[in-house]
Amino acid sequence: LAKTTQPISMDSYEGQEVNITCSHNNIATNDYITWYQQFPSQGPRFIIQGYKTKVTNEVASLFIPADRKSSTLSLPRVSLSDTAVYYCHPRDDKIIFGKGTRLHILP
């Protein structure tokens, strides 16, 4: 099982771009990298997923270097509503999460 390492917390201001990096040195060859967002008192929800290079959707971008030992979630122009905990997860059957990154957006 790949262990993940993320910053425990980050602060940013509204309108800025936020990048959260996750390291997963032991990722398996077939594992996709998945990111989830969790608001207080709610279950996590899927944000984005990728295997290599760059993936973009309406919410975020995900950058994955060639060695796939890390990934970076990019949130463009954050707002107060982006305050949440963000988890990265190399996709496997057990879906074991790390402690996530607590992102706090300031006005």
Give contact residues for other proteins (rule: CB under 8 A). 30-32, 34, 36, 41-46, 49, 51, 85, 87, 91-100
**For residue 79, which amino acid is it?**
S
Least Å distance between CB 107 and other proteins? 25
Q: CB–CB of 20/82 below 8 Å?
A: no
Strand, coil or helix: 77: coil
Give the residue with the Cβ less far from other proteins, 31 or 59: 31
The minimum distance between CB 80 and other proteins, in angstroms, equals 22
Give yes or no for a contact between 17 and 73, defined as CB atoms under 8 angstroms apart: no
Q: How far is the CB of 14 from other proteins (least distance, A)?
A: 26
Q: What are phi and psi of 42, to 5 degrees?
A: -130, 160
Q: Which of residues 38 and 74 has its CB atom nearest to other proteins in the complex?
A: 38
State the nearest-atom distance from the C-beta of 100 to other proteins, in Å: 5
Question: Do residues 27 and 2 touch, judged by C-beta distance below 8 A?
Answer: yes
Is residue 38 within a helix (H) or strand (E), and if so which, with residue range? strand 33-38
By C-beta, is 1 or 17 nearer to other proteins?
1
